[in-house]
Chain A
Amino acid sequence: MTEQQPYEEFHLDALKEIGNIGAGNATTALSNLLSRSIEMSVPEVNILPFDEVPYVVGGPEELVVGIYLQVEGEAPGSLMLLLEKEDAIKLVSILMTGEIPDDVSDKNIEDMEQSALMETGNILASSYISALSDFTRLGMAPTVPALAIDMAGAILEVILLQVGDVSEHVLMIGTEFSYDKNKIRGHFFLIPEDNSFSKILKSLGIDDGSN
Chain B
Amino acid sequence: MAVIKIGIADLNVASGSDVLRTAGLGSCVGVTLYDESTKIGGMVHVMLPESPKNKSGYKKAKYADTGIPELISKMEEKGCNKSKLVAKIAGGAQMFSFSGEESKLLKIGERNAKACRDILGAHKIKILADDTGGSYGRTIELYCETGKLMIKTVKEGVQEV
Contacts and interface: CB of A to CB of B under 8 A. Distances in A.
A154 B93 contact: yes
Interface residues of A, number: 31
Contacts of B62: 164
A164 B139 contact: no
Interface residues of B, number: 34
B48 A164 contact: yes
B47 A160 contact: yes
Nearest to B9: A50
A60 B98 CA distance: 23
A158 B105 contact: yes
B99 interface: yes
B26 A153 contact: yes
A116 B60 CA distance: 42
B7 A155 contact: no
B119 interface: no
A198 to B, nearest CB: 20
Given A154-B137, A157-B8, A164 B26 contact: no
B25 A153 contact: yes
Contact of B23 (A61, A63, A150, A158): A61
Contact of A60 (B9, B24, B58, B100): B24
B26 A146 contact: no
B97 interface: yes
Contacts of A150: 26, 95, 136-137, 154-155
Interface of B: 7-10, 23-28, 47-48, 52, 58-59, 62, 93, 95-100, 103, 105-106, 108, 135-139, 154-155
Interface of A: 50-51, 54, 59-61, 63, 66, 68, 70, 143-144, 146-158, 160-162, 164-165, 168
